[in-house]
Amino acid sequence: EKAGYKHFMAKEIAEQPVVLADALKHYTSARGTLELPEALSFKGIDRVTLVACGTASYACHVAKYWFEQIAGLPAEVDVASEFRYRDPVLSPASMAVFVSQSGETADTLAALRHVKEKVARVVSVVNVPTSSIARESDLALPILAGVEVGVASTKAFTCQLTVLALMALKAAQDRGTIDAATLARRLEDLRALPGLMNAALGLSDPIARIAKDLAKAQDILFLGRGPMFPLALEGALKLKEISYIHAEGYASGELKHGPIALIDAAVPVIVLAPKDALFDKTVSNMQEVMARNGKVLLLSDAEGVETAAQGTWKTLTLPPVAPLWAPILYAIPAQLLAYHTAIAKGTDVDQPRNLAKSVTVE
């Protein structure tokens, strides 16, 4: 069942280039057009409200940047356990999007029921098309990741991101905020991802070596900016789930508003920073860490590593990627860091303590 891998998580990490390519093939044409269901129309929609739990909620956080930047559409994100007990002020012209791998998460399902009659459309992004969340939404978009067994979500996360990216492009198309050439280029950039992910998987050995040191840490920080900020949150969640090391994700710019007090030589800081428009800002945050003897692991592309490696503890070089879609690619080294750190610590990777694959209780 594990197809020669030691753990389901390793298998599921490795499957990502294939399942991502499948999802892209399903929702786009070879001519480079979007092939999303007509019912997904964003015409007349004035806002998207994205709701989920855990890793799926971080996918929603990334998507917020995309809906705003690509489609100029207001987007808000909340975790289901808060959303369902708030009195969210919803526009009747809004689309509510529920993201769930299992489609059975109790809080997400309750949140869906909470808004069903109050919004224009309820869309779910699920891995299990027969699930309760899929059945109770107006439209369900399967992420086509295939069965995910490992409790730590990996391939479902990148497939959720892919479907959400396509939704943001559809929103832009329906709202007339994207021209045909830009849309074609963005789709081409998405189609490049499976190949880039294969290259990222090649970092498994160097990551395993770095993980031997990370495994000795008690606390680890992840930093990112823009759409890489939610990926920092996801990297931290993945690590704490399976290695039991305390980890936190922060927006790079928030460092000096508190967490910098934690920095000393014992706290590794993992910086997720492709060479994008905000790279220099992140590098200056990184330098603040290094000035306090912080141990920085920089993940960037060759250009970024060349510019900013000085003074870092270690670097990992990823292939260059369209900045918008970078969180999808950088998810792979984030997952591998968690995986190999857990292996180095000898914890149960596929069945971490206290966790269930599907949280069907409140």
Catalytic residues: 357
The type of residue at 145 is A
Given the complex with ligand M6R, which of 49 and 101 has the nearer CB atom?
101
152 binds ligand M6R (CB under 6 A): yes
Does 106 sit near ligand M6R (CB under 6 A)? no
**Any contact of residue 12 with ligand M6R (CB under 6 A)?**
no
Burial class from Cβ neighbours inside 10 Å (0-12, 13-18, 19+) for residue 44 reads exposed
Angle at which helix 228-243 crosses helix 54-71, to 10 degrees, equals 170
Report how far apart, in Å, the C-alpha atoms of 68 and of each of 44, 151, 282, 291, 344 are: 16, 31, 21, 35, 40
Please give the residues from 240 up to 269 whose contact with ligand M6R meets the rule CB under 6 A.
241
Q: DSSP alpha helices (H): ranges in 301-346?
A: 302-308, 326-345
Q: What is the CA 192 to chain-centroid distance, rounded? A: 17
359 binds ligand M6R (CB under 6 A): yes
In the bound complex, what is the minimum distance in angstroms from residue 301's beta carbon to ligand M6R? 26
Task: Give the separation between CA 224 and CA 231, rounded to whole angstroms.
Answer: 7
Region from 147-155, 269-277, 287-295, 339-347 binding ligand M6R, contact rule CB under 6 A: 147-155
Q: Tell me if 153 contacts ligand M6R by CB under 6 A.
A: yes
Among 16, 105, 282, 341, binds ligand M6R (CB under 6 A): 105
Q: What angle do CA 288, 290, 296 make, to 5 degrees?
A: 115
Q: Which of 53, 167, 260, 318 binds ligand M6R (CB under 6 A)?
A: 53
Which of 81, 108, 137, 243 is in the footprint of ligand M6R by CB under 6 A?
108
Total residues binding ligand M6R (CB under 6 A) = 16
Contacts of 110 (CB under 8 A, 6+ apart): 80, 84, 362
**Running DSSP on this structure, what letter comes out for residue 250?**
E
Comparing every residue's Cβ against ligand M6R, the nearest one is 54
Residues that bind ligand M6R (CB under 6 A): 53-56, 100-102, 105, 108, 151-153, 241, 355, 358-359
